[in-house]
């Protein structure tokens, strides 16, 4: 029996609606994938650019300060832990820049070693200097020890364990209750490389 015209029209309308719905879903999915791909490409490009800018700044500072700071690489040597009972500061070079206070923004290069003369961390790597660290949120012996320095200066710090890593220690090279030494070179604070907006928004959205 032939299908009535009205029924055929109804079936045709339903088919069209379903087709449009399917195409719409497919288009939405395709656009989502495309947007995700675009976002990923933008993030990758921004990240690459940001890392390149940091590397360029690090190299510029290394070229400027490496020769001077690297001469202190031979200073670390074994010492008796019993001799360090209080924070001691010894200026190896007096700077001529801004004087460091407890609230001064600055950056620094450093060499840190334990009583065995083992360097547990340093700014020197493969004939260059790594990015300098920002002062402020460091162990109390460091924070107190650099006060009074002037930018461009170099100071050796003898830090008792209670002003270093205390009873907790820090890794295999700094056991609990170990006094440590640092050589610190303070440089004028350089502006941080700005984080691209697309990266900043991504970090904020995913933090």
Cβ atoms of 61 and 132 closer than 8 Å: yes
**Residue 202 belongs to a domain:** no
Q: What angle do CA 45, 189, 75 make, to 5 degrees?
A: 105
**Residue 146 belongs to a domain:** yes
**Residue 110 belongs to a domain:** yes
3 state SS for 64-129: HHHHHHHCCCCCCCCCCHHHCCCCEEEEEECCCCCECCCCCCEEEEEEEECCCCCEEEECEECCEE
Q: Quick one: pLDDT at residue 68?
A: 97
**Residue 205 belongs to a domain:** no
**Residue 129 belongs to a domain:** yes
**Residue 197 belongs to a domain:** no
Q: Note if the pTM is more than 0.95.
A: no
**Residue 203 belongs to a domain:** no
**Which pair of structure tokens corresponds to residue 29?**
């999915």
Residue with tokens 């993030």: 43
Segment holding 33, helix H or strand E: helix 5-70
Q: Quick one: pLDDT at residue 36?
A: 65
- Using the Cα atoms of residue 138, residue 142, residue 145 and residue 148 in order, give the sign of their dihedral: negative
**Residue 206 belongs to a domain:** no
Domain residues for the domain of 134 are 1-191
Q: Give the span between the Cα atoms of 62 and 75, in whole angstroms.
A: 20
Q: Which CATH number characterizes residue 34's domain?
A: 3.10.50.40
Please list the rounded mean pLDDT of every run of 10 residues in the chain (207 residues). Answer: 43 40 45 59 87 94 97 97 97 96 94 98 97 94 97 97 97 97 94 86 80
**Please, what is the end-to-end C-alpha distance for the chain in angstroms?**
65
* Residue 130 CB burial class (10 angstroms; 0-12, 13-18, ≥19): middle
Q: What is the number of domains present in the chain?
A: 1
Cβ atoms of 66 and 95 closer than 8 Å: no
């Amino acid at each position: 029996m032939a299908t009535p015209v009205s029924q055929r029209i109804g079936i045709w309308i339903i088919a069209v609606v379903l087709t449009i719905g399917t195409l719409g879903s497919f288009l939405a999915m395709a656009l989502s994938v495309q947007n995700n791909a675009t976002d990923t490409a933008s993030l990758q490009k921004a990240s690459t650019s940001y890392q390149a800018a940091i590397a360029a700044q690090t190299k510029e500072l290394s070229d400027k300060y490496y020769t001077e700071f690297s001469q202190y690489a031979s200073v670390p040597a074994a010492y008796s832990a019993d001799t360090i009972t209080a924070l001691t500061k010894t200026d190896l070079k007096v700077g001529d820049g801004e004087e460091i206070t407890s609230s001064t923004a600055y950056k620094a290069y450093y060499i840190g070693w334990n009583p065995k003369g083992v360097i547990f961390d340093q700014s020197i790597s493969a004939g260059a200097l790594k990015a300098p660290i920002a002062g402020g949120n460091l162990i109390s012996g460091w924070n107190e020890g650099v006060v009074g320095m002037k930018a461009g200066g170099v100071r050796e710090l003898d830090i008792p364990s209670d002003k270093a890593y205390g009873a907790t220690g820090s890794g295999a090279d700094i056991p609990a209750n170990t006094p440590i030494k640092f050589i610190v070179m303070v440089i004028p604070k350089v502006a941080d490389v700005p984080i691209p907006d697309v990266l900043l928004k991504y970090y904020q959205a995913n933090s």
